[in-house]
Each structure stands twice: as structure tokens, then as C-alpha cells.
Chains A and B, each alone.
Chain A
Amino acid sequence: MKRIMIGMAIAMLGGEIACAGALPDNLSYDPSTKTGTIWPKPIKGSGELSYKNHRQDLSRWVSLSYAETRDANRPVTVKALPKGKGDPARGKKLAFNKKKGNCVACHRLPGKTQFGTGGPSLVGYHKLGRDDTWIYQQVFDARVHNPVTIMPPYGTNKYLSEQELLDLVAYLKTI
């Protein structure tokens, strides 16, 4: 009886993994490591490769694998602002942080000497007079405003939280 129960548990577990969507087998990925996502680093004088963990698990989003069956996230229209109040100081930190908003990679922001030119300068952004909902939509999923935008959909892809997005909106209104 006990053996049957264990067998059933394993079968159910197997089913659950399959339902959750097994990852393609050609990802550079090792689930037994800290973040799962690994990358190869050549070793001098060696025919072997060493692997390092990326700082986060990138398999949460679609890869370029031909075996990738998940849909990419479609554009999401924000119906209403989430509850809460944005903090411009926190928003500024998020905009400058390479591991968070990293807005300076593409946009010029006040107080930064090394910035990007891929997107428009945001110096004087408040003068555009955008309302909170419009700005929130832009950082949540800019594809709703421009279908071929290259700006990452921070909200739709759950890279930043609602509170973090509110903080960014508050910050953008101060610059």
C-alpha cells in the first residue's frame, strides 16, 4: 500500500512538472544551482568549460529556443492606477540602478553624466504634462502607446512591482 502511495505521489509530481511547462532542454540552465541560469566561462589552457550563475533566473521569460512553447506576454492596458503612493526618491534610485529600472541605459536623466541616447532625453519630462495614468502605462507596458517601441514592459513582464512603478512615476514628475 505504502509503495502504491509513493508511486502515485511520484506520478502526480511528474504530472505537475509537465503541466507547469518543462523548460526546453537546450537552455544554458541548471536547476540545481542558485539561480538556475548559467553561462559558460572558458578556462585558460583547458578544453573544458566552467559555468557561472547569472544574478537572476532568466528562464522566467521566453528564450530563443525552438523548443520554447510559452507565449510571450501580450501588451497589457492599465485600467486604473494601483493603490499606493509613489516616492520620488525611491524612484530615482530605481531609475539609476542597473539591476532595476536602468532607465539611464537609454535615457538622459538629470545628474547622470553617463547615459544613453536610445530613447529621448527625460530632462524636463514634467513639462510634457502627462498624467499619472499615462506615465504609469508607459513604464508598465509602453507597447500600448507605441506598438514597435523598444522600451521593456516592466509591469507586464513583472520585472518591477506596482509600488516600484508608482515610485518611478512620482520621480518622473519631478524632473
Chain B
Amino acid sequence: MMKNGIEKITAVSLAIGLALSAATTTQAAPYREYTPLPPGGLEPGVQNDFSGSYKYWKDGETVAKYAATLPPEERWKLNAKENDPPVNEALHGGHIAMDEGEAIYERLNANGQFAKCLGAKDNDLTGLRANHYPHYDAKLGHVVGLEEMIERCAAKQGEKLLNGSHNNSAVSIYIASFSNGMPLNVDLSDPQLKAAFERGKKLFTQRGGWTNFSCATCHVSLAGKKLRGQTPTTPYGDAAHWPTYRVKDEIQSLHVRFTECNRNSGVQPLKVGSKEYTDLEVFLSGLSNGYPVVAPSLRY
């Protein structure tokens, strides 16, 4: 009896103590579900693609060969690379945007400060897209993508080029064209970029929205399966051609694409340039490490 009473008191005070500590310390992480990683995980570098499609899109010559021979139900294995040279050399809106981007760039860089702000040495844009973005910016104290820096550096020259806007993406495509054919090279030995890559990987598998879908629901679990009229592809090798010309006649940046992915899967989109989208950008760029930059590119 006595013992029971003491136990009760102890239990009550323990409960009060727990309640107090819960109120004073940080709250527990909210409940989330995650899509399981594919065999081999989602490690950086195009060669680590889990879908078995890499051998069909590893370079232009291979894409050209399989674009001519793969049956319709297997064309997803081309990873949409048949839309880029050398298979598709057609003129499209991306070329026009690239010219527009050049004119805007020349105007902003009249005094050489715009290129310098973006990280180019001696006004030389060669390799800037492939080797320098995304990166950790010590002054800003966070990881930045090329389009975020275009907005920031343009503002310093008194011009508004919002991240995700047509003109911002046009400048990005123009800058990327100086990296054409150069393999994407995100430095994941940098602890800040590595941390962003890992955060991005977690977000990629995190489920949300009314559908309870993650990015990985479509691009891992359903890669190669039909969703009515479309077939989702591997996330590997996808980040090296953004911003891109979409055939709905829009120059689209990667972050704007994320907002489209989100709402198509019933998930509330985030702001362009948010930390979450930048982490996803770093993650997808890491998965494209080793794949050549394409500018301008075209996607359906």
C-alpha cells in the first residue's frame, strides 16, 4: 500500500518533470515519413544511377544510338537527353533567351563588376557554371546557386533580375554556355556543400502533401513507370541542363520547376531561392556530377 503510494507520487512527479522539460526544451521533430532509398543509396556522381538507365544516356553518341533504336516503352531510359544536341540540333526558345541573356550580361557588366561579383576572374566565364556553382558563400553565410547570385549581383548594378524570372534564367543560360560540354563538378569535399547535399537528400525522400508523396515517390519508386501520359525518369544527370526551355514556351529555372513538381504532386510549393530548394539543387547537382553542362537545352 505504502509502496504503491510512493510509486504513484514518483510517477506523477516524473510526469510533471517530463512535461516541464518538454515545455522548456526544443520540441520533438514533427512526424514525417520517408521513401526508402534505392539499392546503393543516392550517392553523388552520374555513374551511381540506380535505375539502370545510365548506360543509355552516358554521352551524346550513346543517346544518338539508342534514340534511333529503343522501342517507345523504353524511351524513358534516354533520360530526356534526346532533346539536346547531338540528337536534337533544332533552334528553340532557349537559343533566343541565350541571346537576350548575353545582351543583359553585357549591359550589367559594363564596368566588369557583375562578372567579378559572380566569381569570374578577368571577365572569363569559362567553367563558372560547371565548377563554381552551387557553392558556399562565406560572406552570405549560406550555400548559393547561380540564379540566386545573378539576382544579388544584378541588384548591385541597379537592375532587378528576380531568381526564377525570364531574364535571370536567360543570363544563367548565357553563363552556362561557357561551360558547355564541361562536366558538372560540385565540390562535395566542402563540408558546407556536403551538409547541403545530405539535407537535400533527406528532403528528396520526405513525404508531404495530400498525396503523401516525396520527390522520390515519382523519381525512385516510379522511375520508368507510366503516370498516364508521362514517365518519370531518374534524378541522376538532370541538373546539368537548367535553366531550360520548356515546350510550353517558358524559360524555366530549376527552382521554378520544383514549384511545378510540388503542386503536380499535391504538395504546397516553397519560395524560389528558399534554403530547402537550394539544398535540393545541391543534391540534384551532386547526382549530376560528371555529366556535361548543356546550354541551351529543351525539355517537354
Contacts and interface: CB of A to CB of B under 8 A. Distances in A.
A160 to B, nearest CB: 10
Contacts, number: 159
B162 A47 contact: yes
A63 B208 contact: yes
Nearest to B276: A64
Contacts of A73: 212
Interface string B254-274: 001001101100111111101
A28 interface: yes
Contacts of A70: 30
A152 B211 contact: yes
* Majority secondary structure of chain B interface residues (helix, strand, loop or mixed): loop
Contact of B210 (A26, A47, A61): A61
Contact of A29 (B27, B30, B260, B268): B268
A28 B169 CA distance: 19
Secondary structure dominating the interface of A: loop
A46 B260 CA distance: 20
Interface stretch (A35-43, A80-88, A131-139): A35-43
B263 A118 contact: no
B257 to A, nearest CB: 11
A163 interface: no
Interface in A67-94: 68-74
Given A28-B259, A105-B227, A61 B208 contact: yes
B30 A69 contact: yes
Interface string B82-111: 000000000000000000100000000000
Contacts of A40: 164, 256, 259, 272
A72 B31 contact: yes
Interface stretch (B1-9, B218-226, B290-298): B218-226
Nearest to A104: B228
B74 interface: no
B289 interface: no
A49 B31 contact: no
Interface of A: 26-29, 37, 39-49, 54, 58-66, 68-74, 104-106, 114-118, 148, 150, 152-153, 157-159
12 contacts: A39-B259, A42-B252, A46-B167, A47-B159, A47-B165, A61-B209, A64-B206, A64-B270, A106-B225, A115-B226, A117-B226, A152-B210
